[in-house]
Structure 1
Amino acid sequence: MTVLDPPELAELGSAMTTPQAVIEAQRCLYCYAAPCQQACPTHIEIPSFIRRISNHDDRGAAQTILDANVLGASCARVCPVEELCEGACVLNDTEDPIQIGRLQRYATDTFSATGRPIIEAGPDTGRRVLIVGSGPAGLSAAAELRRDGHQVVIWESRQRAGGLSTYGILPIREPLQIAQHEVDEVARSGVEILTGHPLRSRAELIGASAEFDAVLLATGLGATTPLGLDNEDLALDGLDYIATAKLDPDSLPRFARVAVIGAGNTAIDAATIAQRFGSQTVIVYRRGEQQAPCYPAERQFALAEGITFSYLSQPVGVVADQGVVTGVRCLRTALGPADLSGRASFSTVPGSDFVIGCDAVIKANGQGRPQDSMGDLEMDTSRGFIAVDADYATSIPGVWAAGDAVRSTGQASTVMAVQDGKLAARCINRALMGVTGRKGA
């Protein structure tokens, strides 16, 4: 069933018309060794696809994008382009950068409207690969493996495929329809997607590794990290709150005042939803503005929405009256030298208790390590993620891992997960095609 976003959560920004796209594309200098392409984690040939738009070859433009990034429509919307491709555009020195994200959205949306498949499966190799998880890493890997001709099955624990693109990204950035179209296209290529099908145990993982020629774990991260707050059970989970807004907005609870704990992009998304549904919203963060993990453009967006920030504020408890939330109790903090994360450390100031009045507290402080139901996988103890080698192989033979579950490249983001899935699939393909016959045959 199609879910229509309410007006408060309608997608930001209008789509480019063809004349607008052509005019913008013609501003591009089509640089050799283009900095924008080098800044793109999936290395889309950006000058090439933009030149194709300028020449009215929309299909060729889209194919250039999708060959490198099968989730190009999602990434056109959710990538931090100010930090990546557009931030690297040489025109930043003299004028506005090329609107690469909007041009990518134009090309991919125009192509999708034609009904043509975005993934062409290769000749059947007879090899079978299981992918656990259907988020960006899993879908990207599935598409790459189908292009190589392998049979692919995806196990997804939730009732809808798509991972954070489906459940965890603010609809005004990525409507549910976009995420589900990409899932449908992966399925259309011949990938079998089984929803409501979690990986439950080590025995099941070992059994799968015997049944399939390869297994890729693309499970993402775990649940929101507990904070140890007093009355923490009265706080709402930020990811659940965003998922409700995206999948069942009519049931979204409404509040007069909301405090969101955390200052990452998930916190910005949760706060934006609350603000747009009528709440007076404050983001509470234990460090300062310069240490906030959200992108600067996201912080400016939140301020423009009317969201306020309470920096140097360490939440210690949810204040409640007979089970009804009335505020969040905090301590002031002071910053110190950089810690292991590279950000300033902090300490609480004794006797600095204060309460931020609110009738809802939303935790959006980041997710924990991947679910530990996958057996005796070696973990990267310095980070708490699944340990992999340079070819994305885990400590269990025949099992690979990619995406946020390993975070092998850069910060956690949709585009980084897409690239991880693509690279892991290539490693799996090399391993499968370097042997003869089925495993165990």
Structure 2
Amino acid sequence: MQKVTDTLERTLVPVATKIQQNKVLRAVGNGFASSLTIIIVGAIFTLLGSFQWSAYQSFLASTGIGTILSYAPLVTTDMLAVYIAFLIGKSFTEELGLKDNASFCGILSLFAFLLMMPLGVSELQGETTVEITSALGLRWLGAQGLFTAIIIGLIVPLIYAFIIKRNIVIKMPDGVPPTIAKSFSALIPGFVIAILFSIIRHFISLTTFGDLNTFIYGIIQEPLTSLGASPLTFVLFIVICNVLWFFGIHGGAVVMPFLQILYAAPALENLVAYGAGEPLPHSIIQAGWFVYANMGGAGGTFGLVLILAFMAKSKRYKTLGRMALPTVAVGINEPLTFGLPVVLNPIIILPFIITPITSFLLSYGLTLLGILPPLNGVTIPLGTPIIFSGWLTGGIPVMLFQIVNIFIQVAIYYPFTKVLDSQALAEEVQEDTIQTGEPKDASVPVNG
């Protein structure tokens, strides 16, 4: 075991550290994190307007509330790529050391993203197709345009920083207000970006793809979505995340940008389909990370904390379990990870990896069999309580599976926790004997 640990520490940890410090991945992660408000608002409105209960839907239709609830998703869920283009552009500019210019570059990223949008929409009315050439369709503003938004949000700041750092700017006199001065300093980068992306748009229009979004979707996004649809990909992320936690590295921070890149678009597509009352196209989305695999935090530790809180005999672990229970219930398990500890603990690392894999694969199999519904695409923010998260993302069936999953977690963790608890109890008995001079029966629980 020690040889395996030493080998992983020499090879995996340096790579993980570099990934965690990578500016591009940090920018992507921060950009998506900043969009959570928009994502959650759109998801909640979609849920409120989509509960498939005939009496409820009749009430929404008769009162006009259904129409009111339909407005917000159109400019949140259906236009998420617009927000992502700005937020990633802004975040990456900050990572490049130009924090004061971040908002300007975010706007230029959004400008470049919209510049690449094909104009024109058509609709079949009766036997006639009506075309509006000056309209901007929603197709590439939502899930299908996410990769374009990410790429442009990363390229524009590089161009902007290249020009600004070489001081190729229009300088205003000292008396000009700072905001006006910064606006003028962004003019030259803005013109360069406008010309460059206009040229790109023109030349792509001459190809069979027609526009940049179709090119990126066909060449990059669709293959990556297919990669994410494999359960082996999801399992690989679980293993990497939890092995990194064993070495004290925040595994979630390392893998989350990759999860967002792979699973943000499928989640949005599920949410749109759910709102439209259509079959959900994807069985694996990012919400499964929290709802199924890592229920209670990395390692799927809610069952573990229940064992410690209510079944441990040692005072140390009983106290730790009761202290950590409220935070683990909402997916924050650092008190447990560093208090047990999970870090560099060879006894607990095996269930720490096996538990989330088992939970995920079981949920995936039940979804394929039609026993569990595909998750509806609602994004679960950190702090969402267990059970409630299941109800939000899949209704009563997913909520009930989470309860079953707690027992699965307990069953896997129990024999390993029993070893740790017995060791801790023996140490406490020995310490008590030294302090009091009287031996204490180790089989008797220590009050805690």
Q: What's the TM-score bracket when you normalise by the shorter of the two chains?
A: under 0.3
Normalising to structure 1: TM-score of the pair?
Answer: 0.25
Greater fraction strand: 1
Which protein has the larger Cα radius of gyration, Structure 1 or Structure 2? 2
Normalising to structure 2: TM-score of the pair?
Answer: 0.24
Higher relative contact order (CA 8 A, sep 6+): 1
